[in-house]
Amino acid sequence: MATGYERKLGLSETLSIVVGRIIGSGIFRTPASIMLAVGVVSMFYGAWIVGGIITILSALLFAELVAMVPRSGGPYVYLRLAYHPLVAFLRGWAMFFVSETASIVAVALVFSAYGLGLVAQIWPDSIVGLDVVSSLLIRGSIAFALIWLLTLANCFGVFLSGVIQDIFSVVKIGALLLIAAACFGSSPDFSHFGMEVVTPPDKNAPEAGSLAALFAALRYSFFAYSGWEGATYVAEEVKQPEKNLPRSLFLGIGAVMILYLLVNTAYLVQLSPQEMVENRAVAVQSMTNAVGIVGAVLVGLAIMISTFGNVSSQVLVKSRTWHAMARDGLFFGFLADLSSRYRTPNRALIFQGFWASCLLTMAVMGELFSGDTEKDNLYETLIDFFSFTSTIFNILTLAAVAVLRYRLPDMPRPFRVPYLSVVLGVVMLVQGAFLIYTLIDKPMHSLLGVALTLTGLVYWYGFVDPEKRKPVSHDQILAELKKND
């Protein structure tokens, strides 16, 4: 088996991974969830702007980490260096069993939902008599097929995966610009900006326009921006990572934030806030209002292409974490090898696909047996399930910048965060408040995610070599970096 990666990804591929990981299902589905949470247009923009600013500040912190330690594995790598290995292990365990594979499932389900909707628009007779349960099973089957198709495709080398990311990133940006042009060019109604959501269905929701409503909305805003750190997972496969990775983070996030604000404005000139929450497929409904059924079909196809590319990028980058953990002796040992031919972590890819399939099955079965399939809350439920645990480890990862400046003050840092105390303070304040609100707002989802994360302790104490449980020394860090350079 091969023991090392090949550096075949340049700035364009790395930037494409950042853009491809961010633009997935979020911008097409979460605007309705955000509007429902906040109830007013001003706070709707507030959720997108706050989410974007915090993401950019977080990218500043990540840029210092990845430039200093250009190793594949993403946040797991930085946590292992900054804290006790148990923290990094639990983050990786939670990523695998709770958050990251669930994110793959969530986006795959959006792909399948729009695929079924596209069939309904083009061949309406083909789904006549299809009930909610049958529809859910079909969507689950399509999502299952997509996950495995892209899992297998990513087993054939990172160069092919990088080309796929380039293509799909261009298509995604083009699709969003097409939506914006069509909505602004067809009788835009700017009176919608002064309206509110008239009849929010959830009586227990926070008051419209309140701070609590903003934090409820941030759960979906952060999800829409999530994935921006994706390129750091493949750091050992990037040319000049100390330069290309920070550049890709800043360029990618900045471009996506501007694009998101533009597209959300385009939605609002075609849909009132009330219409937005009543039509969760806001992109399709906006295009239908703007140019009719042809526009709806085109945007539905564009969304499928976008989510297809997003799932591909998720499958690509996240598998590197399981490989990095196994390589360090902190995860299932059989995942530590790379393909001798393609230099890709194929065992990690297959194992990831298997667990994603399990989560997909549990999500579909849970929805079927909930007795509430009419509401179709599967997408939001998956986001609620991993928001709390993800935020805990996000806070620890971002704080690792300060920890490592203290622990390793002489470590070369090609990029240093300016005004670290200010940047870190703002990020910690917002993320901390969001964490507390999420626990209060979704206690069962949050505690279930924590419980599943803590099951990792059984593996840690029962199967991890005691020598591997010891903190990593400065000399070990330098030796590992030199070995993988």
Token code pair at residue 372: 């509430």
Q: How far is CA 146 from CA 110, 151, 298, 440, in A?
A: 11, 8, 20, 35
Residues 231-256, mean pLDDT to the nearest whole number? 85
Alpha-carbon distance of 283 to 310, in angstroms, equals 17
Q: What is the pLDDT of residues 304-317, one digit of tens each?
A: 888 888 888 889 88
Integer-rounded Cα radius of gyration of the chain: 22
CA-angle at 403, arms to 5 and 101, nearest 5°: 45
Q: Which residue has the higher pLDDT, 241 or 46?
A: 46
Q: pLDDT exceeding 70 applies to what percent of the chain?
A: 90
**The pLDDT of residue 212:** 82
Residues 224-245, mean pLDDT to the nearest whole number? 83
**The pLDDT of residue 201:** 52
Q: Which residue has the higher pLDDT, 425 or 320?
A: 425
Token code pair at residue 341: 């031919």
Domain limits of the chain?
Answer: 11-483
Contact 227, 24 (CB under 8 A): yes
Q: Which residue has the higher pLDDT, 32 or 195?
A: 32
Alpha-carbon distance of 326 to 344, in angstroms, equals 14
Q: What is the pLDDT of residues 150-182, one digit of tens each?
A: 999 888 876 666 677 678 778 888 888 989 999
| Residue showing tokens 């999530």 | 226
Q: How far is CA 428 from CA 22, 45, 63, 82, 431, in A?
A: 22, 21, 17, 17, 5
Residues 26-39, mean pLDDT to the nearest whole number? 87
Token code pair at residue 297: 């079909």
26, pLDDT greater than 90: no
Mean per-residue pLDDT of the chain? 85
Distance of CA 179 to the CA centre of its chain: 22
**The pLDDT of residue 204:** 65
Decide: helix, strand or coil at residue 40. strand
Show Cβ contacts of residue 265 under 8 Å, excluding neighbours closer than 6 positions.
Answer: 180
CA-angle at 339, arms to 334 and 344, nearest 5°: 100
Q: Looking at domain 11-483, which of 3.40.50.970, 3.90.1150.10, 1.20.1740.10, 1.10.3720.10 is its CATH number?
A: 1.20.1740.10
